[in-house]
Amino acid sequence: MDVVQLQRQLVDYRASLYHEAFLDEQFTQLQELQDENNPDFVVEVVSLFFEDSERLLNELTKALEQQSIDFKRLDAHVHQLKGSSSSIGAQRVQKVCIAFRNDCEEQNVEGCLKCLQQVKHEYSLVKTKLETMFKLEQQILAAGGSVPM
Amino acid sequence: MVLGKGASSSLSRKMVDGVENMVSNCNDFTVLVVDDDPVIRKLHDMHLKKFGLRAQVVENGKKAVDLCHFGTIFNLILMDKEMPIMDGVEATKELRAMGVNSLIVGVTSRDSQYETQTFMEAGLDFCFEKPLTADKISFILQELNKKN
């Protein structure tokens, strides 16, 4: 595939991520912060998000396995996941976190368990999508092209 | 335009109309970012870099209070609300009680109006929803210039 085709593929792919609400305007803000002095900024922030989310999802899983669930602690982790997903524009993850927080507040164990499943699912989807997008960007650069904004 | 001492050559010109003068003052401002979320810390740090500012970053209110207690002076403190060990409300109250008169800007998730009010009453100058954007930072820097 030539550079122009790859660039077109990337533009279409990105558009689909916004259209399907995997990403929102906040992701665009991230891209606008990237420049020649910080050419890997988006990848760095997103990698940080992946690391932090995986840690939080582990904590959430452990917290919900306890005999006596500490809902305050649970809520604190969900709050953090909500914050970081919102800051990179991972809209679908953020939306599940909002519902999750409501269940924590109501101390609804079943609701929390469902939300945990959902948030893991949405996280895994957005992670795959972003990794695919970054791979496309790498292919364009390797082919000597520039990544369209 | 004359740039202040320690001026960085990578200063951003992305400013709102009429406030280009602030660029020459920017490098003299000291900023503290207080947030338990590493993604937000990196994001806010980058936003500030774009305006020629270097920030110190800490992950909770207690660390912010300790830094100020030991004499570090900041012109601007970006304070998250919900943090472990010491949250933003508590930290802001303590800083004001210590006599810290930095511009303290609260950064919150979409909380209730009541919670934002409590945060403001702790001693904030302004409160914004996170994450901060270039426009919000521009506004904050205008206020910082007025204050200084």
pLDDT tens, position by position, A43-75: 999 999 999 999 999 999 999 999 999 999 999
Collect all residues of chain B within an 8 Å Cβ-Cβ radius of residue A87: 37, 39-40, 43, 130-131
pLDDT band (50, 70, 90) for residue B132: confident
- For B:7-66, CB contacts with A below 8 A are 10, 36-40, 42-43, 46-47, 49-50
Domain ranges of chain B: 29-147
Cα B11 from Cα B23, distance rounded (Å): 8
Assigned CATH for B29-147: 3.40.50.2300
pLDDT reading at B105 higher than 90: yes
Whether residue B133 and residue A84 make contact (CB cut-off 8 A), yes or no, is no
The tens digit of pLDDT for each residue in A81-125 reads 999 999 999 999 999 999 999 999 999 999 999 999 999 999 999
Q: What is the pLDDT of residue B27?
A: 58
Q: Which chain A residues in 117-146 lie under 8 Å from chain B, judged by CB atoms?
A: none
Coil, strand or helix at A41: helix
The interaxial angle of helices A91-105 and A109-142, nearest 10 deg, is 160
8 A C-beta contact, residue A38 and residue A62: no
Domain boundaries, given as residue ranges, for chain A: 3-32+40-141
CB within 8 A of A146, min separation 6: which ones?
A140
The SS3 assignment for B103 reads: strand
Question: How much of chain A is in helix, strand and coil states, percent to nearest 5?
Answer: 80, 0, 20
For residues A17 and A90, give the distance between their C-alpha atoms in angstroms, rounded to a whole number.
Answer: 10
CA B126 to chain centroid, in Å, comes to: 10
Q: Is the CB of residue B61 less than 8 Å from the CB of residue B83?
A: yes
Give yes or no for residue B54 having a pLDDT over 90.
no
Q: What residues does B104 pair with on adjacent strands?
A: B77
Using DSSP's 3-state secondary structure scheme, residue B97 falls into helix
Q: Which two tokens stand for residue B106?
A: 């609260």
With CA atoms as reference, report the closest residue to B108 among B136, B141, B80: B80
B111: helix, coil or strand? coil
CATH 1.20.120.1200 fits A3-32+40-141, yes or no: no
Q: Is A50 on the interface with B (CB under 8 A)?
A: no
Measured between beta carbons, the chain B residues lying within 8 angstroms of A38 are: 46, 49
At B68, the amino acid letter reads C
How far is the C-alpha of A119 from the C-alpha of A95, rounded, in Å?
A: 9
Residue B22 confidence class, pLDDT cut points 50, 70, 90:
very low
Conformation bin of residue B124: beta by default, left when phi > 0, alpha when psi is -120 to 50: beta
pLDDT tens string A3-40: 999 999 999 999 999 999 999 999 999 999 999 889 99
Q: In whole angstroms, give the CA distance from residue B58 to residue A118.
A: 32
Q: Count CB neighbours of A47 within 10 A.
A: 14
Mean pLDDT (whole number) for B115-141:
92
Angle (CA) B68-B73-B74 rounded to 5° is 100
pLDDT at B148: 79
| 3-state SS class at B74 | coil
Instruction: Let me know: does B111 contact B127? Beta carbons within 8 Å.
Output: no
Cα separations in angstroms, A10 against A127, A147, B55: 16, 8, 34
The answer to whether A80 faces chain B, any CB pair under 8 Å, is: yes
